[in-house]
Amino acid sequence: MESHIEFLRRASLDAELAAQLRRDWTQANLSEQDRAMLDFVVRLTHAAYKLTPEDLQRLREVGFEDVGILQITLIASWFNYINRVADALGVGKPDA
C-alpha cells in the first residue's frame, strides 16, 4: 500500500490527502464521489461476489457513468491481481 500512497502523493501533489488516506481512508476529507468510488473498490477487493446492482447504482447516483464504472472496476481488479502476483513471488520482500 505504501507504494500506492506515495504514487498518489506525487501525482496529486497533495501530501495531506495522501497522509489522511494512509491513516484511515474512511476518515479522509473526500468528495462524495471519491468516497463512493473507494467504498465500491473496497467491497470489490474484499468480496466481489457480494456486489449488487445497488452498488453500481450508488456510483451512478454520485455521477459516474457506465464507462467510468467499468474503468474503476478494471483498474481496481488489475491492482488486486498484480498485488497477488507480487505477494506470491515475494516481490519487495527481503530474502529470508
C-alpha cell recorded at residue 15: 501530501
CATH of the domain at 37: 1.20.1290.10
Number of domains in the chain: 2
Q: What is the pLDDT of residue 3?
A: 61
pTM beyond 0.85: the answer is: no
Q: Mark whether 20 and 53 lie in a shared domain.
A: no
Give the pLDDT means over successive 10-residue stretches in the chain (96 positions).
63 75 83 94 95 97 98 93 87 69
pLDDT of res. 7: 64
Tell me, what's the pLDDT at 96? 46
Spatial contact of 22 and 5, defined as CB atoms under 8 Å apart: yes
Shared-domain flag, residues 14 and 57? no
